[in-house]
Amino acid sequence: MAATLDDKLVVAISSRALFNFEEENRVFNDSDDRAYVELQRQRIDIPAAPGVAFSLVRKLLAFNTTEHQRVEVVLLSRNDPVSGMRVFRSCVAHGLPMVQRGVFTQGRDPFRYLRPLGAHLFLSANEADVREALHLGYPAARVLTESVRAGDSNPNEVRIAFDGDAVLFSDEAERIYQAEGLAAFQRHETDKAAQPLPDGPFKPLLAALHRLQHAGGTGMRIRTALVTARSAPAHERAIRTLMDWDIAVDEAMFLGGLAKGEFLREFEPDFFFDDQTGHVNSASLHVPAGHVNSGVSNPVTLLAD
């Protein structure tokens, strides 16, 4: 019987999201792909340093046991196969031998392979790839490679924080806010408090984490947080939506427009997802952060013919 990724939480991740390849990337940007490949050849036996999403990947893989493989991490990268060999060697050097699958496209679009993988999450430093993945319906975020890396204070707990509107939920309410202002937004959400918000791009990931949390048997656990600019009375619709999904979050922060960064610093997530660049940039000073290029705050720019 062929191998299958069914019933696993599948994370597809680029090389730059998992490891620190910023120096190599500068060579690529300042020179050409041949100089980049040659540098990777020279460093093939030198493990790359852990990157922004390393802690998240390492902890998720800790849910696997000899009897049950619950999480699959697949390298999905624009790198060439030679550079891919260095990435796999870096995985082994840093204690991630379970990362055994990878697709290296040598500059071509990698996001098309999300479909056969059945990915629940795609993390990449490439904004265009993330945008296309979201368009195809996969939870995806552009990793801010300059983000602070996660600490080691919660070794047995995967901590993930999500924004609400345009991330876990649709951008329906955010459109009201941007078009008509705060008062109209509050009225809209109060009037529709009992009506669940439509699904956002990251609802499938939250649902997959919920299933993983209830698998048990590894000593690992998942702690999630909703970190939103909403405040009372608009908080109620967000909570009722989660209740309708039958998915609970461990913490909810209704910040009413306060900067999220310092609150996230206290929560200590292994990753934070938000659709607004201002919030993501603020968060990246304190925690690993990713931009979700979704919703009304991220209009699609059309190129002229």
The answer to whether 212 touches 222, Cβ cutoff 8 Å, is: yes
Task: Give the position of tokens 């707990």.
Answer: 157
Q: Assess whether pLDDT exceeds 90 at residue 36.
A: no
Q: Assess whether pLDDT exceeds 70 at residue 1.
A: no
> What order do you get walking across the sheet with 251-254 strand by strand?
101-104, 71-77, 9-13, 121-124, 140-143, 289-291, 271-274, 157-162, 221-228, 251-254
Residue 291's pLDDT is what?
Answer: 98
Q: What is the mean pLDDT of residues 72-89?
A: 94
The torsion defined by the Cα of 227, 172, 284 and 44, in degrees rounded to 10, comes to 120
- Interior angle at CA 173, CA 171 and CA 178, nearest 5: 90
Q: Assess whether pLDDT exceeds 60 at residue 305.
A: no
DSSP helix/strand/coil, 223: strand
Segment 228-280, tens digit of pLDDT? 999 999 999 999 999 999 999 999 999 999 999 999 999 999 999 999 999 99
Residue 56's pLDDT is what?
Answer: 98
Q: Give all domains of the chain, ordered by start, each with its CATH number.
A: 9-143 (3.40.50.1000), 157-291 (3.40.50.1000)
The answer to whether 16 touches 125, Cβ cutoff 8 Å, is: yes
Segment 131-142, tens digit of pLDDT? 999 999 999 999
Task: Give the position of tokens 């265009």.
Answer: 128
Would you list the DSSP string of 104-170? E-TTS--GGGHHHHT-SEEEES-HHHHHHHHHTT--EEEE-TTSPPP-SS-TTEEEEEE-TBTTTB-
Report, as residue numbers or ranges, the catalytic residues: 163
Q: Assess whether pLDDT exceeds 80 at residue 302.
A: no
Per-residue pLDDT band for 304 (boundaries 50, 70, 90) equals very low
